[in-house]
Structure 1
Amino acid sequence: MRARISARFDFAKLWAASAVSNIGDGVTIAAGPLLVAQMTQNPALVAGAAFAQQLPWLLFGLISGAYADRIDRRKLVVLVNVLRGLVLAALAVSIAADVASIPIIYAVFFLLGLGETFADTASVALLPAVVPQEKLASANAKLMATYTISNQFAAKPLGAWLFVTAAALPFAFDAVSFLVAAGLVATVTRAPRRLEPKKTNLKADIKEGVRWLMNHRVLRTLAMTMSVANVVFCAAFAIFVLYVQQRLVLTEVGYGALLTTFAMGGLIGAVIAPRLQRRLLAKHLLRAGLIVETLTHLVLAITGDWLVASAILVVFGVHTTVWGTIVITMRQRVVPDGLLGRVTSAYLLLDLGGAALGSLLGGLAATALGVTGPFWIAAGVMLAICVAAWRPLREA
């Protein structure tokens, strides 16, 4: 009984830490593009900020997984959150002192992304040590709902409003959120399983995790599918702030409000995801998600009406939450604990590595084809992905 109560309290602390840090993250996600767009209207430079934050996944993603399987995952999350808080505080000071520049912003976003590679990998691997296997799907759904409410629904308009009030304010807010989240995770008392000391080197550890992922047909298919899908998704959404301003003709506050429609869909998805998983096969839900993603890009490429854009973003938000809940729970259940950090990092390398490449290409595509160009490209590529992944996903 005491163990169950302790587990519930520890999950509550992780849950609260997730809520706090996600509010801060959402504020920065909304304010970051506005800060860069205030300095330049060059699509390549605007998209470069997103690329700078995603680049560490390409450079350090596999290394972060190896360390998550070697050291105390809880302490790793705490340390990284403290460091990210300090980095954001420095950015807020530079903005307030009017010395911030695009290179400084890129450097800060790169460091935030570097911290994210370690914190996200360790957090996903830490959860099964706190939550029983039979509760993982429910716990992941709660975390996804919290992410949606905090990061997408509440934080985006808050970030835009804080930026309009004072450009440094959203980044100072995020700095505090990271420090609070670190304090909450530090109080988790249910100790995770002690990881066995590693007698191999990092290279061998990394190879073992990559090999395990590549030998698992369903997870390999999901990783490869999302890697390519994220290239075109992030190519389009890296310049979304310009798309909103130029195509939909909305203000900064309107941009933040539009982002909340995606969050509304995510919240709906978090509520219905467990029920859908009980009633429908995973392969049907995953295939439906690919169709939704294709239609989202197509609609955004065609429309100039913010109401239509809002409607499709709601549907897209439902898809991302349902898809994410299925995939994360699957990994946590089928991957051995001693390999979970490395397999997760290998999966995220493909997932977020594609996002980094897309963010880099998005600015170039928008410069050459206009702000709707990346959405047209994304729609075509997603259609091809649907055809290629349809059969392999039958085993999901």
Structure 2
Amino acid sequence: MTIRLGAPYWKLWTSSALSNLADGVMKVALPLVAIRYTESPALIAGLGFAFTLPWLLFALTAGALADRFDRRRLMLWANTARAALLSVLVVVAIIGAGSIWMLYAIALFVGVAETIYDTSSQSILPQLVNRDALSRANGRLYAAELTTNQFVGPPLGGFLVASGIAVAFGAPVLLWVLAIGMLLLVRGRFSTGHTGATTIRADIAEGLRFLWSNTVLRVLAIMVGMFNLASSATFTVLVLYAVGPNSAMKLTDPGYGLLLTASALGSVLGSFAAEGAERWLGRAKALALTILGSVLTVATPAFTTNPVIIGAAFFLGGITVSIWNVITVSLRQRITPHRLLGRLNSAYRLVAWGTMPLGAALGGVIAQFFGLPAVFLTMGVVVVCLLLGMLWVTDKRMDAADEAAEQAHRAEAAEEAASGPAGR
């Protein structure tokens, strides 16, 4: 019997799709507008750094906040802040007073709001849908996020910039306002019962301890960190391998964009296939197969320059990455207590994403001294080694973690029922 996701979930889904469409438009609009203020490649590239820096500096704090306060309200405040910040750019564009440094400031603060929104959004889901429906719920959510953020948002952003700066930044403002309106329709309280008796530092430390003490989650975080190191190294140098008459693949700029679209298309398909893969293969086998599929993403360019073959490898790799994400995120949501989920998600992401700058640097060093194919081959070996992690991430361990979490959830529900009715 299929468990329905329910109206509150679909309202969250719609709000998330609108928010991610705004993100996709803004991330393309910022650098396109920036070239009107500066011709410095370093300053243009620095915008991306400013936008992602909050994930290193603020992620753990965002997780602590998601466990202290109502998660829906945090999402509302985060989107309100993003809309307000871009409204400033609309006004500035109209009066002609913009600058590259203002774009930097906006990118930084919008990035901070994004850490709060994304952490709260991932943590609120188990409070909206049944535990047994989390894989389906995450799959549908990922499909919407990928489609709006990677397919619709970027070309729409380019079109809007051509229409004017005020239009380019005004569109995300409108989308975030619509997302706020949809999220307001999700009724209920989504706090964790945190009393606020502890400090933020103590809360963060508790989340880190929980991650480190749980074998399955700890190993999964390390595995994702190693894969992100490998993929970051690969895609940092891929443009040199793929684009231009002197490159190995000899692609044009549009051809390179089409090559990357193959991965995104696979990711959307994988988000729908994840629930079936988990059910038919079991989690451990499905995760092991996704590792093998991910090898194709990083290693294929080492053996061929044919863009069709590489594009097909990226497509299959995109499918497997989405299957991995849906299964592992759903597992985190099932086995982590609600009161810790925000901190666990942020700590997990810090471990999993913190390797990406290192991967970019490592890819550049290997390419400089040994050539571009050596990067792809080396990173392929790194991804194959992730199979060792499956010695710890077994069905038996995951099932035991599920059962322990279910028992704790029942005990907590019984305690709440004994103490009297409470709104959520």
The match for 2:149 among 142, 151, 157 is 151
Q: CA deviation at 1:23?
A: 1.8
Are the equivalent residues in 1 in contact too, given 2:16–2:145 (CA < 8 A)? yes
State the structure with more CA Rg. 2
Specify whether residues 376 and 106 from structure 1 end up closer, same or farther in structure 2 by C-alpha distance, changes over 3 A only.
Answer: farther
Structure 1 position 198, deviation (Å): 2.2
Conserved in 2, the CA contact under 8 Å of 1:156 and 1:260?
A: no
Provide the C-alpha distance between the structure 2 equivalents of 1:32 and 1:316, rounded to a whole number of angstroms: 29
Q: Is the 8 A contact 1:160 1:252 kept in 2?
A: no
Equivalent residue, structure 1, for 2:219: 221
Question: Which residue number corresponds to residue 119 of structure 1?
Answer: 117
Question: 1:65-95, CA deviations, whole angstroms, 9 ceiling, x for partnerless residues?
Answer: 1111111111111111121223334456667
Provide TM-score, normalisation by structure 1: 0.84
Which residue number corresponds to residue 81 of structure 2?
Answer: 83
Equivalences for residues 1-396 of structure 1 within 5 A: 8-31=6-29, 42=41, 48-91=46-89, 97=96, 99-101=98-100, 103-163=101-161, 170-193=168-191, 195-237=193-235, 245-246=243-244, 247=247, 254=255, 256-300=257-301, 303-358=304-359, 375=376, 378-384=379-385, 386-394=386-394, 395-396=397-398
Does structure 2 conserve the Cα–Cα contact (< 8 Å) formed by 1:91 and 1:100? Answer: no
1:108/1:371 Cα in 2 relative to 1: closer, same or farther (>3 Å)?
Answer: farther
Secondary structure (helix, strand or coil) at the match of 2:6 reads helix
Per the TM alignment, residue 353 of structure 1 is displaced from its structure 2 partner at its CA by 2.3
- SS of the residue corresponding to residue 393 of structure 1 reads coil
What is the deviation of 1:146? 1.2
Number of aligned residues: 389
Q: How big is each residue's C-alpha offset from its partner over 1:138-181, in whole Å with a ceiling of 9 and x where there is no partner?
A: 21111012123222333344344445665775444333322221
**CA 1:32 to 1:306, structure 2 compared with 1: closer, same or farther past 3 Å?**
farther
What's the CA shift string for 1:302-360, capped at 9, x where partnerless?
Answer: 55444334322211221121111101110111011111111111111112222354456
Deviates more, 1:344-353 or 1:108-117: 108-117
Alpha-carbon deviation of 1:375? 4.5
2:110 is paired with a residue whose SS is helix
Q: How far 1:236 moved relative to its partner?
A: 3.8
TM-aligned CA distance change 1:76 to 1:322, over 3 Å: same
Q: Deviations over 1:99-145 (max 9, x none)?
A: 443x5544433323212221111111111112122222221111012
CA distance 1:203–1:15, shift in 2 (3 Å): same
**Structure 2 CA distance for partners of 1:242 and 1:92, relative to 1, 3 Å:** farther
- Aligned counterparts of 2:105 and 2:149: Cα–Cα separation in 1: 23
Question: Counterpart of 2:420?
Answer: none
| Contact preservation (8 Å) 2:296, 2:316 | no
Matched to 2:391, the amino acid is R
CA contact (8 A) 1:235 1:358 kept: yes
Change in Cα spacing, 1:209 to 1:92, as seen in structure 2 (3 Å) is same
- Higher RCO, 1 vs 2 (CA within 8 Å, ≥6 residues apart): 1
TM-score (norm 2): 0.79
Q: Which amino acid aligns with 1:285?
A: A
Provide the rounded CA distance (Å) in 1 between the counterparts of 2:256 and 2:168. 16
Please tell me the residue identity of whatever aligns with 2:262: T
Counterparts of 1:70 and 1:143, CA distance in 2: 24
Asked if 1 retains the 8 angstrom alpha-carbon contact of 2:135 and 2:274, the reply is no
Shift of 1:41: 8.2
**Comparing 136-145 and 212-221, the one that deviates more:** 136-145
Alignment RMSD (CA, Å): 3.4
| Structure 2 CA distance for partners of 1:98 and 1:62, relative to 1, 3 Å | same
Equivalent residues of 1:283, 1:393 under 8 A apart: yes
Instruction: Tell me how far apart the structure 2 counterparts of residues 211 and 238 of structure 1 sit (CA, whole Å).
Output: 33
Amino acid across the alignment from 2:180: A
The amino acid across from 1:131 in the alignment is: V
Partners of 1:372 and 1:48 in 2: how far apart? 28
Q: Amino acid of the residue matched to residue 262 of structure 1?
A: S
49-58 vs 128-137, which moves further: 49-58
Change (3 A) 1:393 1:35: farther
Give the letter for the 1:200 counterpart. Answer: T
